[in-house]
Chains A and B, each alone.
Chain A
Amino acid sequence: MVTLTQYLILSGILFSIGLVGVIVRRDIIVIFMCLEMMLSAANLSLVAFSRAQGQNGLPNYDGQVMSLFIITIAAAEVAIGLALIVALYRAKRTINTKDLDTLKD
C-alpha cells in the first residue's frame, strides 16, 4: 500500500538531492537547475496532500491549484534568473562561483 508517507518521503529525497546539488556544484546554471528540482519536489508533496485530504470522493483541489501557481512563478523566476546570469556573464565572462566573489569584504 502506498500511503501518503511514501509520497512525502519521495518528495523529501528529491528535495535533499537538490540541496546537495546546490551546495556541491560550481556552475551557476547547474545550481539553478538543482534549485528548480527542489521546487518540483515541493510541488509533488503538495499534490500528494491534495489527494490525501480529499473528501466526498474527490481530491481537495486547493493543493493542486497552489501547485499550479507555484509552477507559474517558478517559470517566471527561471526567466529572470537566467537573464541575470546572462548579464553576469557579460560582465564577468565566467560562471564559476569561485570567481564570483565581489561580495567579499
Chain B
Amino acid sequence: MIEIENTWLLLFLPLAVAACNWFFFGKKGNIASLVSTLACLVTLIISIGLLGKTGEESFTWISLGNAFNLSIGFILDDLSTRMMLIVTGIGFLVHVFSLAYMKDDESKARFFTGLSLFMFSMTGIVLANNIAMTFIFWELVGLSSYLLIGHWYKKNTAADAAKKAFITNRVGDFGFLIGILTLWALSGTLDFSMMAIPAETCETLVNITLLCLFCGAVGKSAQFPLHVWLPDAMEGPTPVSALIHAATMVAAGAYMMVRVQTSLTVGAFPELTADVISIVGAITAIIAAFMATQQNDIKRVLAYSTLSQLGYMVMALGLLSGESAMYHLYTHAWFKALLFLGAGAIIFACHHEQDIWKMGGLFKRMKITSFCFLMGTLALIAVPFTSGFFSKEMILEAALHKHPALFWIGVGVATLTTFYMMRVILVVFFGKERSKNAEHAHEVGPTMTLPLIVLAVLSIISGYAFMSDNLVPFNGFSAPEFHFGLPFYASMGALALGIIAAVIFYAGSPEKDKLSNNWVSRALQNRLYIDAFYDKVLIRGVQGIGAAIIDCLDQFLIGGVIVGGIARLVAAIGGLLRKLQSGSILAYTILFGLGMIAVVFFTVFYSCNN
C-alpha cells in the first residue's frame, strides 16, 4: 500500500508543514502544534510501510554541464528505512510529549516550525543518495538545531549556546567538505551506490579523505575535541534535547560514517584511519564519563552520558564494526530519548527546577515517570536482558578482538556510567525532598506519560533478536549469539562496582555531594577546562590576530598608502599644473608660440602614414 514514490512525501511533507506553520499559523500555537504532530504521524506510517523495500530515485537539481550534477534523491535499503523508523518514531513521541510540555510557552508555533524543519532535514540526511545532498541536509540540521536550542533566545545563555553549537559544527563541516571534494576527486562520483576508491590510490590520500569525512562526524556527533557544544545545547527545551541531541542528530555522524563504510566497503579503510577514529571515540567516551560524575544539572548529566555513548559508537566504527555501532545507535536512541523525556517530566513537575540537589523523594510522588526513568537507566547501564546490554556487549566483543586496550577503556566507561546514573537515581528519586518544588511535585498528565511508557517498553525489548534483526539499521544485520565470555564478566564486574560505589557515597539522602570539594571534582565540573582553553586561547587569540591585521591594513595600507597616496598624488599633480596658470602674459605667449609650431608641424610635415 505504501509505494516507493511515497518517499517524496516522506521527505517534503515536514517542509511543507514547517512553511505552513510559519506563514499561516504563526500566532495560533495550538493549531500549529496539532498540524505538526499529525504530519509526523503520517511520516511514521509511511516509514513503517517502507520497511523492507529497496530502491533508489533522484532528480537533478543543479547541473553544470557534463562535469557535475547535483541531484536530490533517496536510496532505500535496510540502513535508511530502519533509520527512518527510528527518526520518525522518536519524532512522533517527542511531538506528543511537546504538546503538553510546551503548552504554556508563548511561541509554540515557532517551536513546532523548528521541529518540522528538523524532521525534514534529518530525513534528508538519512535518505540521501549522494554525499553532496547529505552535506546540504547536514547544514540544514545544524540550522534547525540552532533555531531550536535558541528557542528561548531572550535568555543570553540560550543564544550563546545556539551560536556555539552552530559554529562548532561549522568547524567540523569544513573538514567534511574537504573530505567530500577529495572523495569526489578520487572516486569520480558522489552517489553512494556508485562510489569506489581505486585500489592503487596512495594510502596517505585515502587516509586524508576518510579522516576529513570523519571531521564532519566529529562536529556533528560531538566527539573530542569538538564536543563542547553538546552540554551547552541543554539550554534548549527538553523535548529538543530528547529528539535532537540524544537520539537523532548526534547519531547522524555515526550514520554518515556507516553509509560511507557501506559504499566504499570496509576494506577501503586503512589501519591509520580506523585507529584514529576508534581512539577519538574512546577518548570522548572516557572524558565525558568522568565529567558526568560531577554534574549537578540533570540534563547536563544526560548530555555527558550521550557524549560518552556516542564515543562508544564511534569507537565501534573505528573497529570497523559498523553493525555494532548501528546496533548501539538503535538501542541508545530509545533509552536516551526515554531518559530525556523523563527528565523533562521531572523538570516540568518541579516547576522547571533542574538541579538534582533540589530534588529528592520523587519516587513516591511520580510513580509512572520514576518507573520509566528507572527502566531507561537499566538499559543505559547495561543490566542483563535490557537492550543496552546486548549492544554494549557487541561493541566490547569487537574491541576485545582488535584492540584490547580499548576493551578495558570501554569497561572503565561502563563502570563510570553505572556510577553517575545511580548517583542521579539515588539523589533524585530516593531520600528526602530537598526543596519546596520537590514537595509539591505530582505526576504529570497522560500526554507526557504515554510516550514514556512506549519508550520504556521499547528500551527493554528492542535488544532481542526478533526486534533487532528486523529493526536495526544495517544491511544484513543479525544479532550475535549470546555467550559467556570475558566481555560478559568484565561488564558484570563494572556494573557491580559502579552500583556499590554509588550506594556508598549517595545512599541515605545526603544533603550535598560529598565528593565535590577537591580539585579533581572542580576540574570535572569545569569540564576539564577545555572550554576555557578554547575561549581564551583559540577564540581570543584568533580574534586578536585578526583585529591586528585588519587594523594594520586599514590604517596603513588603505588609509596611508591608497587613500592618502592618491590624495597626495593628486595634490602634487595639481601643484605642478598650477604653475601653468601663472598669469604672466610672457608665459602664455611662449606657450602660444610653441603651440603654433606644433600645429604647423603636425598638419604639414607629419602625416599619420609616416
> Do they bind each other?
yes
Residues of A whose CB lies within 8 Å of any CB of B are 19, 22-23, 26, 31, 97-98, 100-105
The distance in angstroms between the C-alpha atoms of A103 and B585, with both chains bound, is 9
- Decide: B589 and A105 in contact? CB cutoff 8 A: no
The distance in angstroms between the C-alpha atoms of A23 and B170, with both chains bound, is 78
- Decide: B581 and A104 in contact? CB cutoff 8 A: yes
The distance in angstroms between the C-alpha atoms of A51 and B239, with both chains bound, is 115
- Decide: A97 and B593 in contact? CB cutoff 8 A: no
For chain B, the bracket of interface size reads: 10 to 19
Task: Mark each residue of chain B from 428 to 453: 1 if its CB lies under 8 Å from any CB of chain A, else 0.
Answer: 00000000000000000000000000
Name the distance in Å between A27's Cβ and chain B's nearest Cβ. Answer: 11
Name the distance in Å between A20's Cβ and chain B's nearest Cβ. Answer: 9
- Decide: A105 and B593 in contact? CB cutoff 8 A: no
- Decide: B583 and A19 in contact? CB cutoff 8 A: no
CB nearest neighbor in B for A101: B583
- Decide: B581 and A19 in contact? CB cutoff 8 A: no
- Decide: B578 and A98 in contact? CB cutoff 8 A: no
CB nearest neighbor in A for B582: A104
- Decide: A105 and B585 in contact? CB cutoff 8 A: no
The distance in angstroms between the C-alpha atoms of A19 and B590, with both chains bound, is 10
- Decide: A102 and B583 in contact? CB cutoff 8 A: yes
Write out the residue numbers on chain A whose beta carbons fall within 8 Å of the beta carbon of B582: 101, 104-105
- Decide: A23 and B590 in contact? CB cutoff 8 A: yes
Write out the residue numbers on chain A whose beta carbons fall within 8 Å of the beta carbon of B517: none
- Decide: A97 and B590 in contact? CB cutoff 8 A: no
Write out the residue numbers on chain B whose beta carbons fall within 8 Å of the beta carbon of A102: 583
- Decide: B584 and A97 in contact? CB cutoff 8 A: yes
- Decide: B581 and A103 in contact? CB cutoff 8 A: yes
CB nearest neighbor in A for B577: A105
Write out the residue numbers on chain B whose beta carbons fall within 8 Å of the beta carbon of A22: 589
The distance in angstroms between the C-alpha atoms of A28 and B589, with both chains bound, is 12
- Which residues between 555 and 610 of chain B lie within 8 Å of chain A, taking CB atoms? 578, 581-586, 589-590, 593
- Decide: B585 and A97 in contact? CB cutoff 8 A: yes
Name the distance in Å between A81's Cβ and chain B's nearest Cβ. Answer: 14
Write out the residue numbers on chain B whose beta carbons fall within 8 Å of the beta carbon of A100: 583, 585
CB nearest neighbor in B for A104: B583
The distance in angstroms between the C-alpha atoms of A22 and B588, with both chains bound, is 11
The distance in angstroms between the C-alpha atoms of A33 and B590, with both chains bound, is 17
Task: Mark each residue of chain B from 132 to 148: 1 if its CB lies under 8 Å from any CB of chain A, else 0.
Answer: 00000000000000000
- Decide: B578 and A101 in contact? CB cutoff 8 A: no
30 residue pairs bridging A and B, Cβ less than 8 Å apart: A19-B593, A22-B589, A23-B586, A23-B589, A23-B590, A23-B593, A26-B586, A31-B585, A97-B584, A97-B585, A97-B586, A98-B584, A98-B586, A100-B583, A100-B585, A101-B582, A101-B583, A101-B584, A101-B585, A102-B583, A103-B581, A103-B583, A104-B581, A104-B582, A104-B583, A104-B584, A105-B578, A105-B581, A105-B582, A105-B583
